[in-house]
Amino acid sequence: MGGLLHLLSLLCCLTLLLQGAEPATFTITNSCDYAVWPGILSNADSPPPSTTGFALPQGQTLVVTVASAWSGRIWARTLCATDSSGTFSCATADCGSGAVECSGRGAAPPATLAEFTLAGGTGGNDFYDVSLVDGFNVPILVAPQAPSLAAANGSCLPTGCAADLNRACPAELRVAAPPAGGGTVACRSACEAFAEAEYCCSGAYGSPATCAPTPYSRFFKGACPAAYSYAYDDPTSTFTCAAAGGGYGVVFCPSTSSLKSGGNPEAAGLPPSNPTMEFSGDADSLRMSRNAVVFALLQMLFFSAISRPCWW
């Protein structure tokens, strides 16, 4: 499997070089106390990345290359396994490919999504966000990897959702770990849970003027002020960065101090920002220490400094 991924990476990089474009990089780090299986989906007008899905054990980092003008999304799958027939599947954010590679398939909600539109060599801005519109399964932090660019551009900032929404999820939105009765492993959006136009911003509610925040979207926004909470939550949730030549870091289960949780009463019951973050990634309560977070961030900086344009 490693040899195949290596070959695919070489072919991807060769294609990008022939096109005269230097590839962009995502440094993906798992700071959770359990394995995750990141999935990557390119938008229709973007070529596929060097990999579309892989296993990422606790504390590990992998650098993934994409085209310089790539657009798409990255997420984490959890509680994954291969059954007796050889079919791979995950309890949360499964992409339905039946394999570790997602191969052009997206995440089944609920899933926390990191979304990107990269400008490439056009001289324009990159756009990026973290979205809870499709619900929540794993905390995510997205950050430009070039500190000098971030300092020079006021909007070139980290964003994401570091709070543990699974523990505080309203009962009617909770997704339990299999078998039935297990701990909460994901938190559905109100649109998915109730399929009503008011929550889905569809039909008579299909415009910014008619689709307003609901108590459910305010719960998400209160916990994660920088993330998208519903379809028209643009003003506070879209970030831009000019020519982010260092690429972007994506951290699963970041420190809660990386992005402060809001004090909104809708978020009452969320764990406070403190040195230890509790997260229900499976049926058991899991914990992440501050030392693990610091180590993960150091890994991001290290890989950013030494990574080549292509993922080997």
Task: Render pLDDT for 72-127 as a digit per residue (tens, 0 to 9).
Answer: 999 999 999 999 999 999 999 999 999 999 999 999 999 999 999 998 866 688 99
Taking 70 as the pLDDT cut, the residues of the chain under it are 1-21, 121-123, 147-155, 180-181, 243-246, 256-312
What pLDDT is attached to residue 67? 92
Given CATH 2.60.110.10, say whether it is the number of domain 22-165+224-259: yes
Whole-prediction pTM: 0.77
What count of other Cβ atoms lies within 10 Å of the Cβ of residue 282? 17
What pLDDT is attached to residue 149? 55
Beta strands in the chain (DSSP E): 24-30, 37-42, 61-66, 71-82, 88-92, 113-117, 125-131, 140-144, 159-161, 174-176, 184-187, 239-242, 248-252, 277-279, 286-288
Give the span between the Cα atoms of 291 and 255, in whole angstroms: 10
Chain centroid, CA 262 distance in Å: 20
What pLDDT is attached to residue 255? 80
What pLDDT is attached to residue 235? 81
Give the span between the Cα atoms of 101 and 266, in whole angstroms: 37
What pLDDT is attached to residue 147? 58
**What is the domain partition of the chain in residue ranges?**
22-165+224-259
Give the span between the Cα atoms of 137 and 48, in whole angstroms: 24
Helices then strands, counting H and E runs in the chain, come out as 7, 15
What pLDDT is attached to residue 241? 86
